[in-house]
Amino acid sequence: MLYQIYETQRSLMEPFADFAQAASKLYSNPLSPFGQNPFAQRASAGYDLMYRLWKDYEKPAFGITSIDVDGAEMAIHERVEIDKPFCELRRFKRFTDDPATLDRIKGQPAVLIVAPLSGHYATLLRDTVRTMLKDHKVYITDWKNARNVPLEQGEFHLDDYVNYVQEFIRHLQGIYGNCHVISVCQPTVPVLAAVSLMASRGETTPLTMTMMGGPIDARKSPTAVNNLAMNKSYEWFENNVIYRVPSNFPGAGRRVYPGFLQHTGFVAMNPDRHMSSHYDYFKNLIKGDDASTEAHRKFYDEYNAVLDMDADYYLETIRIVFQEFALVNGTWDVISENGELERVDPSSIKTTAHFTVEGELDDISGSGQTEAAHELCYNVPKSRQKHLEVKGAGHYGIFSGRRWRDQVYPQVRDFIQQFHNGPTVEAPKPARKAVKTAKTSRRKVAA
C-alpha cells in the first residue's frame, strides 16, 4: 500500500514541479517583464530549488563519448554485450585513428567492473569507468530497475547474482583468455563467492580481483547500515520494507524493496549535510555561481536516481551477509545455474591476486570489513595480496572524485598490470561435480 501512496503523491506533485520549473525560467529570463533584480533572482532560485526537490529522477546516462589519453582523443562506443532479465553487461569500446595509440591499447587488460545493486544505478560509477578506460578494456554490470522487469521473467535471488557474475567472467575469458574483476561495495561478497565457486570447480579464475569498500565481514567496525540489518529480524524486513510494484509499471505485482525507501535511508544518514548542500545551492543560484550549481545538479541527479530491488535478492542479502555472516562462517551454499547446491569456499582460490581498498572515513562499510577477504583467501600467496586504506576518504571517495583518480586508481592500475602477464592462461577446465548434487528448491534453501 505504501508504494501506491508514494506513486499517487508523486503523480500529484508532477504539475507543481513543472510549474516551479517554468516559474524559475520566467524569473531568470532577461526578457522577462519582471526584470533582472534581486527579487527576481531570489524567486528564480527558490522555484529552481523546489523543482529539484519535487521532480522525479530518471536513470542517468553514462554519457562517456570520448576520453583523452596522453593527448590523443579516443571515441567511446557504449553497447550492451549480454542482456539478462535483471542486468545488462555493458562494454565501453574505444576507437582511435592514431596508429601508435591503437597499437598501445590492443594488449591492455580487460576489466569487469561489478557495480553495486543497492539502490543506485551503475552510473554512480561513471568516474570509475571513465578513469579505467585510459588503460583498460572496460565492461560493467548495469543492473535493471526491478519494477520494470515483468513477472514472467521470474524472481531474482542472490544466487542469480553470483551466477550472472560467473557468466560475465566467462564471457570475457572467452574473448581475451582471461580478465580482471573490480567490485565496488555490495558486490564484493557475491563476486568473492563467484570466483570461489569457479576455483572449487577447477575453472580458470580471473587474474586479479579488486574489492573496494564492501561488507566481506560486516561484524568488523559495524556502521549504522550494518546495525540496522543486524538488529532487525528477517521477518521485520519482510513485513515492513517489501511492497508490490503498482500497476503502472511493467513489473506490476513484483515484490520489491522500493528505491524511494533506500533513498530515504541514505538521506537520513546525513540530513544536516543534505540540507546545507541545498541551501548552498540556493545561494549559489542567486550569486550566479554556475560551476557550483552545475556540480550540485550533477551530484543529485545521480544521488536521487534510485531503483527497486527484487525482494528475494534484498532479503537474502540481509540474511546471508548481515545476519548469518555465511561467507566468513563457511556456511553459504549457492544454487548453480544447473540447480546444484555448492558450498562457497574462498580458500579454493589459489592464483587470483586480490587487492582490497577501504576508506578511512567510510560510514557504510567499516574499517576491516573488506580487508577480511585476505583471511578467507589464505591459500593465495602473500606476494599476491595487497591492502590500501585511503586516508581522509569516505565511501564514495574510494571510487569517485579526486582521491579515486589521484590515490586509488594509480595503485589499482599498477596492481592489475603487475599480474596481467602472470600465470600462464589456461583454457577453462570442465566444472567438477558440485559439493552437493541434489536438486534443491530456492524456498528450501532460504528457510
pLDDT band at 86 (very low <50, low <70, confident <90, very high): very high
Largest CA distance in the chain: 77
User: What are the sequence ranges of the domains in the chain?
Assistant: 2-56+259-303, 66-238+309-446
The answer to whether residues 359 and 214 touch, using CB atoms and an 8 Å cutoff, is no
User: What architecture is domain 66-238+309-446?
Assistant: 3-Layer(aba) Sandwich (3.40)
- 303 CA to centre of own chain: 12
Distances (CA, A) of 432 to 82, 200, 201, 361, 376: 26, 8, 5, 43, 22
Q: Has residue 444 got a pLDDT over 60?
A: no
Q: How confident is the model at residue 408 (pLDDT cuts 50, 70, 90)?
A: very high
Tell whether the model's pLDDT for residue 13 goes beyond 70: yes
The two beta strands, 137-143 and 87-95, are antiparallel
Is the predicted pLDDT of residue 436 greater than 60, yes or no? Answer: no
For residue 211, give the C-alpha cell: 574489492
Name the amino acid, one letter, at 405. R
Q: Which residues contact 289 (CB under 8 A, 6 or more apart)?
A: none
pLDDT one-digit tens code per residue, 26-69: 888 887 776 677 888 899 999 999 999 888 888 999 999 999 88
Q: How confident is the model at residue 434 (pLDDT cuts 50, 70, 90)?
A: very low
Tell me the range of 9-13, 173-177, 280-284 where mean pLDDT is highest.
173-177
Of the listed ranges 6-10, 296-300, 411-415, the least confidently predicted one is: 6-10
3-state helix, strand, coil in the chain (%, to 5): 50, 15, 35
Please compute the mean of the pLDDT values over residues 103-108 and round it to a whole number.
88
The per-residue pLDDT for 71 is: 80
Instruction: Calculate the CA dihedral of residues 206, 212, 217, 223 and round it to 10 degrees.
Output: -170
Q: How confident is the model at residue 443 (pLDDT cuts 50, 70, 90)?
A: very low
Backbone torsions φ then ψ of 77, nearest 5 degrees: -110, 120
Give the span between the Cα atoms of 250 and 144, in whole angstroms: 12
Q: What is the DSSP string of 293-321?
A: HHHHHHHHHHHT-B--EEHHHHHHHIIII
Total-model pTM: 0.89
pLDDT digits (tens, 9 = 90+) for 211-221: 999 999 999 98
pLDDT grade, residue 422 (50/70/90)?
low
pLDDT at 131 over 50: yes
Per-residue pLDDT, 437: 40
Q: Is 213 helix (H, G, I), strand (E, B) or coil?
A: coil
Q: Would the pLDDT of 438 be above 50?
A: no
Q: What is the mean pLDDT of the chain?
A: 90
d(CA 370, CA 372): 5
Task: Give the C-alpha separation, 36 to 27, whole Å.
Answer: 8
pLDDT at 133 over 90: yes
